[in-house]
Amino acid sequence: MRLRKIGAVAMVLMGVQQANAATFECQSNVRSAPYSALQQPLVDRFWGETLTYLKEYADALEKPTGACKSSAEALVQTFDPATNGAQRRCITKYRDVELLVKHVRAVLAEPDKAKRCFDLHNGDQDTAVYTPSRAVQSLSPTSSHIGHPLLSDYYRKIGGPIGQAGMELAGNFREIVGNVDSSAHFKRDIGMKGLPTLWSSVGWVPLYADNPDAGDARFRGGYLYAEVMGPWGNLRIKRIDDELVGAEIGMTVQLGNTSYPMHFHHSQEIYMTLTPPQCVRQNRMLLLNWDNDRFQHHRRDRGWTVEMEGRQRDVDRLFVNQDPSDEWLTYMERNAIHAFDTTADCNRTIKPAGLVTAWARTSARDNSQATDICSPPTGYGELVRMRPDEKTVCKLEDWEP
């Protein structure tokens, strides 16, 4: 009996050792300079909130919802012609999601080893990152210490309708991100109230302000994303146990009354909606696999041209309402075509409107990482809003399996 007990203890210890024996290879551009006694607590606070966010993220993916037994159930198409309705799948059954969860769990199991790949600054020297405003910066001494330039200054310099939308977003950022409600699927508040250092210290990118192909000015000035973990984030792990880490985990904020046109990319993607709508149809999304019958397909050299007519009855059927308690989790397959529309006119808008999501890509280290926007057949401009009679053209490139 005694011997068997010792044997069991030894096996448990071996199991623990095995689980904790991962090798972490940081990306080469992680700054390894030691922090001063004054800086270290600022880094520790940011790191601590990063771990909370990653843990809540992985837990949410693995918590059974819908018809799934050991996984959350994700919307994978808003319209499937086979059933005339939405299509759902158990999200961790996808190999790329399974790997993302495995790598996040490895970080959580050995945080001190993973922390060597954590940096106060981002991994992309070519893209400027920002803090939304002085008010957001003041939420955390870490954010003040990092001292990213302010988006409020950036948008003021741009001016015009793009700058104006950006000023509205930066000025209301605290309130918009403070309005999130993550209680339905997360144990902790993962919004800015719960994790103020994370949301104020992470580097925000005004992704479309400079991109004339990205639809109208209000959307271009009214969209931000940030990356916590991944090749361009703060936690930059290239490999765990010789396996490439494709996980890219962060958050997005889209200003109310904007339309993110249909777009696509090689990496698979996950969105978790955190903002409760002020009216049922306030935040809507479209998600269709590239080979969905709703599109017309034309083969090109190394790609497909995919077209869709914008008939209104289709638009109403193809979009679904996003909500943090109901249609909260979405998974995009490679080259899936998706759009986010926050233009519904709620009769009474009590608070500044914006759509906040926890966001991730799963294959950030293979194929192309570019996001391409679909266009009207006449070319880019102010259109691409899925208006009635408006045709949309998407030029997809093949990916390497």
Q: Is 211 left (phi over 0), alpha (psi -120 to 50) or beta?
A: beta
Cβ closest to Zn ion, residue 269 vs residue 327:
269
Q: Is residue 269 a contact point for Zn ion (CB under 5 A)? A: yes
Nearer CB in complex with Zn ion: 55/385:
385
Q: Which is nearer to Zn ion, 92 or 267 (CB)?
A: 267
Kindly tell me which of 182 and 252 has the beta carbon lying closer to Zn ion. 252
Which span sits near Zn ion by CB under 5 A: 55-63, 131-139, 163-171, 265-273?
A: 265-273
- Nearer Cβ to Zn ion (56/269): 269
Distances (CA, A) of 215 to 191, 263, 273: 28, 11, 22
Instruction: Quote the least distance from Cβ 313 to Zn ion, whole Å.
Output: 25
In whole angstroms, how close is the CB of 361 to Zn ion at the nearest point? 8
Binding segment (CB under 5 A) for Zn ion, from list 29-37, 219-227, 267-275, 305-313: 267-275
Least distance from C-beta 338 to Zn ion, angstroms?
A: 6
Residue with smaller CB distance to Zn ion, 106 or 339: 339
Q: Mask: binding to Zn ion, 224-263, rule CB under 5 A, as x and -? A: ----------------------------------------
Token pair for residue 82?
């086979």
Distance of closest approach, residue 271 Cβ to Zn ion, in angstroms = 8
Interhelix angle 151-158/160-178, nearest 10 degrees: 160
Pick the closer one to Zn ion by CB: 167 or 374. 374
Q: Would strands 237-240 and 259-264 be described as parallel, antiparallel, or unpaired?
A: unpaired
DSSP state letters, 310-358: --HHHHHHHEEE--SSSS-EEEEPTT-EEEEE-----S---S--EEEEE
The three-point CA angle 214-217-219 to 5° equals 65
Interaction with Zn ion in 129-188: which residues (CB under 5 A)? none
277 contacts: CB under 8 Å, gap ≥ 6:
283, 321, 322, 323, 346
Dist CA 166 CA 140 (whole Å): 22
- Which stretch in 93-101, 117-125, 144-152, 266-274 sits in contact with Zn ion by CB under 5 A? 266-274
What mask, x for binding Zn ion by CB under 5 A, covers residues 329 to 348?
--------------------
Cβ-proximal residues to 88 (8 Å cutoff; 6+ apart), any chain: 66, 67, 73, 74, 75, 76
Burial (CB count <10 Å: 0-12, 13-18, 19+), residue 53: buried
**What would the x/- binding string for Zn ion be over residues 298 to 317, using CB under 5 A?**
--------------------
For 44, 141, 177, 180, 279, the CA distances from 190, given in Å and listed in that order, are: 18, 19, 10, 9, 23
How many chain residues bind Zn ion (CB under 5 A)? 1
- The residue assigned the tokens 């396996």 is 243
Which residue's CB is nearer to Zn ion, number 227 or number 269? 269
Q: Whole-number minimum distance, CB 351 to Zn ion, in Å?
A: 26
Compute the least distance from the CB of residue 283 to Zn ion, in Å: 15
Site residues (CB under 5 A) for Zn ion?
269
